[in-house]
Structures are given as structure tokens and as C-alpha cells.
Amino acid sequence: MSTQREIHTVLATVEYKGAHLEKLKEAFAPAKLLLVDRRDDAAIEAALQEADVAVLAGDLDERHLAAPKLRWIHCDHAGLNKSARPEVFEKGLIVTSSAGRSGPVLAEHVMYFSLALTYQFPRFYAAQQAHQWGIPGQNDLRGLYGKTMGILGLGNTGTELAVRAKAFGMRVLGYRRSVSEAPPGVDKLYCAERGDTLDELLQESDIVALVLPLSNATHHLIGQRELQLMKRTAYLVNLARGAVVDEQALLSALREGVIAGAGLDTFATEPLPSDSPLWDAPNTLITPHCTPAVPDRIGRSLDIISRNVEAYRNGQPMVNLLTVKDVYTKGN
């Protein structure tokens, strides 16, 4: 049986303007919307004394955990690992995210790394700058067609990626936590809750793409053992979170030729320190945790928020809901 829930006051630290702001107001109407600058600590403290819902530009912190009336927090970004604290569940808070708003371009980002690494782009670009015609071994290169992509994480980004990899003529292996039917484009599915391991996927994949959330269960999911299972010709692509990979093990694998290379967009420490050895790791491409946006990304966030407002009020299941299985304490 569903339970009706009212929303009285909403704290919003998102920087929406114009039509986007109006749509946010409409979604929560007739509730009072308190639009506060995310840097105005005093105003946030004051608003939290009456807010029962918060829409945050960033992650929750101790102020939100201590708020007397707060019941639901929406973080307007994808990864919730910084908000996935045990105290959230001890207090009974509902926490959701805007995961999925950028799924199509995050999937493109994986394909960008996959193509650039497979086509040896850095070597060809260096040759171009040197006015050199070609590179040694270029006739032995093979494209993505007919190769295998292993996707770890089949949420919004992973399902978008599977379709794109299949469009390139790739065989697609998928790994996810829960047991389900294989999404479109996935040729073989492995499920953690069914007792499946990563081993076969790692051994067979030419591209191993990480697009899964960071939690205690996925912290250092890829370490020395997993890297040793990969083909020496395979590439690792990380669009998840840096701590999903044991970076020291990855660095050693790259230096020793255990794998052919890596495309990295996320790191355990961000920004990546200038003296990090990953900058100079062999056959490694780095982007600064930045993916080109989808058209009207805020509009896509608002679609998720509006859907969740209705679900919250009607006591129905909400999308992108943080669960106990998502708790992350190992990086704190």
C-alpha cells in the first residue's frame, strides 16, 4: 500500500535559471522553494531548519544529516559515493541522484578511449607533428570490429555503451550486481548476486570498460589479480570512479606490459596531482573527469527530479535511489 507524503519546504542549491528554474518550482508546487547559493553557509543552515526536501548541487554533509525535518535529498549529479554513508540509513533519509542524464555521452567517452587506443592515436599524432609518414607496425593494427568489449556496470551508462559497442560490430559481455535479463546489445551477462565472477569477462575482453558505481563492494574491484587475467593486448577504460581500480597495481601493469594501455577519466585523488606517475604511464590517455554535455543536461535532470517528486508524494519507488548496498566507507 502506498503512503501519501507531503512536501512543505524545499532547499535548492542548484544554479538553475529561467525556464529551468520555473520547471523546478512547478515540480515541487505548492511547496515553498528556498533557492540558496551553495557557498552561503549561513543561508543553508537557516533553510535546513525548515526544509523537508533538498536539491543539492553537490553532496550531502553533516549539516544535512543533522537537519531536523529533512526527509529526502536529491544530489544533482551521478555518483553518490560521497553521500553513501551509513548515517544516511540510520536516520532513514531518502537520497537520490541524477544518474542517467549524461549516459549517452559517457558511453561515447568510452568509445572515444577505445578507438583512440585501438587506433594508436597518440603515436600517429606524434608522427603527424614530426611530418612523418606512418608508424612502425601500423599494418598489424586491427579495429574494434569483431573484438570483445567487457562492460562492468549495466546501469544507465553501461546500457547505452552496450548498444554503441554492438553498433561497432563488437561482441559484448556485461557484468552487473543484480540478476536480470541481458540488456539490448549484451551477448552474455554475468551477475554478482548469482555467484558469477569477473574472470571469464576479463580473460575474453579486448576492452574492459568500468562504468559502475563506487561502493565498498567495488572498491579496488580491479587489482593486480584482475589485471593479470586480462589479455596483454587489452585496454582498461575507467569512466567509473578512481578507487574502483587499485592505481598502484594498474601503474605496475602498464609499466610491465601486463595490459596494452588504459583510458582514464577518474582518479582516486582529483585533480590528479602533477607529480602522479600516471601522467607518464605507457599507452595511457587521461581526461580530467570531464565529458562533453548532452543537449539540455539540466532539462534531463529536471525530468528525473519531477518523476521522483511524484513518486515521493505517492509513496512509490523512486529512481536512482541510494541503497544500503551502495554504502562507501573505504575511501573515508
Q: Per-residue confidence at 3, pLDDT binned at 50, 70, 90?
A: confident
Q: Residue 104 has what pLDDT?
A: 96
Q: pLDDT above 70 covers what percent of the chain? A: 99
What would the pLDDT profile of 96-138 be if each residue is shown by its tens digit? Answer: 999 999 999 999 999 999 999 999 999 999 999 999 999 999 9
CATH superfamily label, 9-101+295-326: NAD(P)-binding Rossmann-like Domain (3.40.50.720)
What would the pLDDT profile of 288-326 be if each residue is shown by its tens digit? Answer: 999 999 999 999 999 999 999 999 999 999 999 999 999
Q: Where are the alpha helices (DSSP H) in the chain?
A: 18-28, 41-47, 62-66, 86-91, 103-118, 121-129, 156-167, 199-204, 224-229, 247-256, 297-313
Q: Residue 1 has what pLDDT?
A: 46
Helix (H, G, I), strand (E, B) or coil at 239: coil
Neighbours of 227 (CB within 10 A): 23
Out of 289, 297, 307, 313, which one is annotated catalytic?
Answer: 289
Q: Residue 331 has what pLDDT?
A: 81
Cell of 266: 577518474
Distance CA 328, CA 213 (A): 10
Instruction: Look up 241 and say whether it is catalytic.
Output: yes
Q: Given a cut of 80, is residue 168 above it in pLDDT?
A: yes
Helix (H, G, I), strand (E, B) or coil at 29: coil
Q: Over range 14-35, report the average pLDDT.
A: 98
Render the burial of 292-320: b for 16+ CB within 10 Å, e for the rest: eeeeeebebbbbbbebbbebbbeeeebbb
Out of 176, 177, 241, 300, which one is annotated catalytic?
Answer: 241
Instruction: Give the CATH fold of the 103-286 domain.
Output: Rossmann fold (3.40.50)
pTM over 0.75: yes
Asked whether 289 and 277 are in contact (CB, 8 A), the reply is no
Out of 87, 193, 270, 310, which one is annotated catalytic?
Answer: 270
HEC sequence for 83-127: CCCHHHHHHCCEEEECCCCCHHHHHHHHHHHHHHHHCCHHHHHHH
Q: Domain residue spans in the chain? A: 9-101+295-326, 103-286
For residue 25, the 8-state DSSP code is H
What would the pLDDT profile of 257-276 be if each residue is shown by its tens digit? Answer: 999 999 999 999 999 999 99
